[in-house]
Structure formats: C-alpha cells, structure tokens
Amino acid sequence: MSHFIIALSDCILATSHFILVTELENKEPLPDEYVKAEEVVGLQADNFLPFLKTKDVTLVMFYQPDCPACEFSRKHVKKASKVTIRNRHSYAAVNCEASPTICCSQKITSTPYFKMYSRGREIGFNDNPRMFTYKDMKHWVEQISVYNGMGKKM
C-alpha cells in the first residue's frame, strides 16, 4: 500500500523555490541515510538536477521514512545498487518528508515511487513498488537507453 503525501495544489510555491535553489547551488550528494548503502546517494533540492545531469542513467526512489511500503522498496534498491553493472549509472533516493520541493516538482503524490532519469531528463517511472524487485531494478538500469539530448535515445 502506498503512502500518500502532498496534494499537487500545495506544491506551487515549493516548486518555484526548488527551481531557484537548483540554479544557485550544487552540493555533492552523500549516501542516503534511509537506504544505508554507499551506492545510493541522497538527493536534496540543492543537488537534485545537477547530479542527475552527470549520469547516463539514474534510478531514483522517492520515499517517506514512516511509510511501511517504503521499507520493502528500500531493501530492494539497496540490493540492486550493489549488483548493477553499468558505466555512468547511479541509484539515488529522495526523502519527500525532508525535501518536499523535489517531490512536488516531480509530481510525486505517493510513496514509494520510482523514476528513471537519463542525463537529468525523466525517461520512465514505476508506481507499483510491490512488483518492483531488485532484479527488475537491475535489469531496467542496465538495459534502458540513454537520452542523447536531441530528443532521441541512444
């Protein structure tokens, strides 16, 4: 069962603040405290877009620490991050409780929620976390095409 968070109508101010912050700051992300894996970075408003733009492929898990379904997904993203083999890929996590501006700007209304990004651009999503295991995550990250900046995937 997903955990519902912020109504999209409440996100207007948060999203405009997020756009300003991401243009002004660029802090290197640290491992996410919830996932507890060196391979999964925790993203915040000041490093979200800049970090995603540096990677060919990034799978991001949006979560809330008190969400029961997020615990299932946390274990799978942690395991997937350790077994995935692909150059210039990453796994990341966003705590929607601590960073609601990101979740609003990305239109996340329930957690856990997964989005795939390529060079900073959203290229896919998964909103069925109970059916999204570490094997699925690994396969998706290793096989998805890279966005080439011209509206096409490589």
Write the pLDDT tens digit of every residue in 52-61. 999 999 999 9
What is the span of the domain harbouring residue 26? 3-142
Q: Note whether residue 72 is domain-resident.
A: yes
- In the predicted model, is pLDDT for residue 141 greater than 70? yes
Which amino acid type is present at position 77?
V
- In the predicted model, is pLDDT for residue 45 greater than 60? yes
Q: How many domains would you assign to the chain?
A: 1
Residue 14, helix vs strand vs coil: helix
42: number of Cβ within 10 Å: 18
Q: Note whether residue 44 is domain-resident.
A: yes
Q: Note whether residue 31 is domain-resident.
A: yes
Q: Tell the burial category of 119 from Cβ atoms under 10 Å away from its Cβ (0-12, 13-18, 19+).
A: middle
Q: Note whether residue 108 is domain-resident.
A: yes
Residues 97-106 have a mean pLDDT of 96
Check which CATH number belongs to the domain holding 69 and give it: 3.40.30.10
- In the predicted model, is pLDDT for residue 16 greater than 60? no
Burial 45-77, CB ≥16 within 10 A → b, else e: bbbbbbbbeebbbbbbbbbbeebebbeebbebb
CA-atom Rg of the chain in angstroms: 14
What is the tens place of the pLDDT at every residue in 76-97? 999 999 999 999 999 999 999 9
CA 153 remoteness from chain centre: 20
105 Rama class: left (phi>0) / alpha (psi -120 to 50) / beta = alpha
